[in-house]
Structures are given as C-alpha cells and as structure tokens.
Amino acid sequence: MIARVAPTAAKVLASLAVLYGVMVGIGYLLTHVFQNSGFVHEDNHVEKVLAQHRDGTMNDVTYVLSGLGNTVAIIGALAVVAIFLRVALKRWREPVFLVVAVSGQALVFLLVTLTIKRDRPHVHRLDSSPPTSSFPSGHTGAATALFVSSALLIAWYVRRRWVKLLAVTVFLAVPLLVGYGRLYRGMHHPTDVAAALLNGLTCIAISSAFVIQGRHGGPAADPREAPVTAGAA
C-alpha cells in the first residue's frame, strides 16, 4: 500500500512546491516590484468603489456568499461529499481526488501567507480580519478547490444532461460569488482573489493528474466503473 501511495504523494508534493514558488513570485511582484504602480493603484481603487456603493441588502447577501468559503463550511462540506462519494462509488479514487485538491490548496495558501505580507484593503471591512496576509484569498481558494472539483466529478459521472448542466453551472459560479463577496466586504484586493482562483484551479489539476489520470488513465476509463449517480439522458 505504502509502496503504491508514496510515489504519487511525492509527485503531488513536488507539484505543490512549484505552485508555492509561483504564488510567492506573484505576491512578491505585487508587494515589492509593482507596489507603487498604476496597476496596484487600480487594484486598490476597486475596493474603494465597492465600499462607496454598499447597501444593507448586499451587505446581507455577501455575508452569506462569503460564508460559503469559510473554514468550517468547507471542511464540513468536504467531509460530507467525500463520504458520499466513497459510499456511492465504492472506491477511494474520487474522495481522495477531492481531498487532495482542497487540502493542497489550503497548504499552499497557508505557506504563502507566511511568506508574503500584504495589508488588507484600506477601507471599512465588514468582517473581522483573520491574522493572515491579504494575499491570497483563503475563502476563494477553498471554494474553488471544493466546488470546481465537485463540478468536474459531476461532469464526469452524472448521466442525466439537465442535472449535469444545472449542477455544474451552480458549482462553477460559487467560487466567483465567494470572491465577489470577499471584495465587496473589503477583505481582499482583486488580485488576491485572482491568485486564489489560480491556486485552487492548479491544485485541482495536480490532483486530477496524479490521483485520477495517473492511476486509471482518466475518469471512468474502466467500463466496470460506470457512473452511478443519475439515470440515462
């Protein structure tokens, strides 16, 4: 068992290390090289515009949207979905794919926040600020890793077309809505959210390459592993 898992784990960790280096490079450019540039100025200006146009309704809406990406919600949803996949599909491949994508994103996020120190936007913030750097957005990265990887699983295994289309559309929209909620509430710069999307999507690609593709040559490559989550189209 260990002999099979160790090479894959090593590849995943090596890929995450490269991603960490890329993210640190982006963060360094934003906080040092381009710190006083027009690009970063516009990045900050977006937050000021959003703060000036807040209203009670959107304050409530973005509170909910932002909450979709908080740690408790992500861990709880991850546990439920992973257990469901294990029971429904009777194998570990898909649950492990999901867990690696989400936990890999979290690991890179935490290491980057320890390396890159970026202040949060200089506007009134609607949430309390966690003791981490503004770069990247942890909420957006976590939502990206969980919901986009879930959307991929639905696209791969659900047969009923309208269910697939509806679920994938909703799941792909969630990280964007979470990112907007974090921007609206003054918690991050737009580039923090963009970097978080990159982090989450890259971790999904890494997990797919080494957990799904690397082991079986692709989703449902074995005809005995037919989708079991919906009826025929």
pLDDT confidence tier of residue 6, bands split at 50, 70 and 90: confident
- For the chain, the structural domain boundaries read 55-216
99 burial level (CB within 10 Å; 0-12, 13-18, 19+):
buried
pLDDT tens, position by position, 159-177: 999 999 999 999 999 999 9
Instruction: Say which amino acid occupies 126.
Output: L
pLDDT tens, position by position, 202-213: 999 999 999 988
- pLDDT the model gives residue 226: 44
Q: Which residues, 6 or more positions from 206, have their beta carbon under 8 angstroms from its beta carbon?
A: 12, 15, 16, 19, 100, 101, 104
Token readout for 162 is: 């309208």
Question: What pTM did the predictor assign?
Answer: 0.90
